[in-house]
Amino acid sequence: MAVVFSVVIVLQILAGYFCAKVAQYLTKKVWLGFLAMLFALVPAVSIYLKKSLIHCEWFTNGFCYLGYIYLGFILYFPVYCIAVFVFHKFYKKISLKKLLSAGFVLVPIFLFGGYLNAINPRLKTINIEGSSDLKICFVSDIHVGCINTKHILNRVADCIEKANPDVVILGGDVLDIEALKVYEKTFVDIMRDKITSKYETYTVIGNHEIYAGVEECVRLLKQAKIKILIDKAVEVKGFNIVGRLDRTVLQRKSLSQIVTNDMKNLIVIDHTPSAIEESADHHALLHLSGHTHAGQTFPINFVVDYMFGPTGDLRKVKNTYAYITNGAGFWGPPYRIGNIPEVVLINIFKGK
Over residues 297-317, mean pLDDT: 87
The parent domain of residue 51 ranges over 2-118
- Percent of the chain surpassing pLDDT 90: 38
The phi and psi torsions of 345 (rounded to 5 degrees) equal: -95, 115
Q: Could you give the CA distance from residue 34 to residue 23 in angstroms, rounded to a whole number?
A: 9
Where does a domain end: 98, 118, 138? 118
Q: Could you give the CA distance from residue 20 to residue 12 in angstroms, rounded to a whole number?
A: 12
Across the chain, where does the E strand assignment appear? 122-130, 134-139, 167-170, 201-203, 227-228, 232-236, 239-244, 266-270, 286-289, 315-317, 320-324, 342-350
Is it the case that residue 203 has pLDDT exceeding 60?
yes
Q: What is the pLDDT of residues 93-120, one digit of tens each?
A: 888 888 888 888 999 999 999 999 999 9
Q: Could you give the CA distance from residue 287 to residue 285 in angstroms, rounded to a whole number?
A: 7
Nearest to 177 by CA among 219, 155, 209: 209
| CA-CA-CA-CA torsion sign (246, 249, 252, 254) | positive
Give the residue, 36 or 303, on which the prediction is more confident. 303
- 141 and 84, same structural domain? no
Where does a domain end: 118, 135, 150? 118
Nearest to 64 by CA among 79, 49, 86, 80: 49
Can you give the pLDDT at residue 1? 47
Average pLDDT, the chain: 84
Cβ neighbours for 306, distance < 8 A, ≥ 6 positions apart? none
Can you give the pLDDT at residue 48? 64
- 297 and 162, same structural domain? yes
Can you give the pLDDT at residue 336? 93
Is the CB of residue 243 less than 8 Å from the CB of residue 230?
yes
Can you give the pLDDT at residue 116? 93
- pTM for the full model? 0.85
Most confident stretch, 14-18, 56-60, 200-204, 250-254 = 200-204
Where does a domain end: 84, 118, 152? 118
Query: Which pLDDT band holds residue 289 (cuts at 50, 70, 90)?
Result: very high
Total domains, the chain: 2
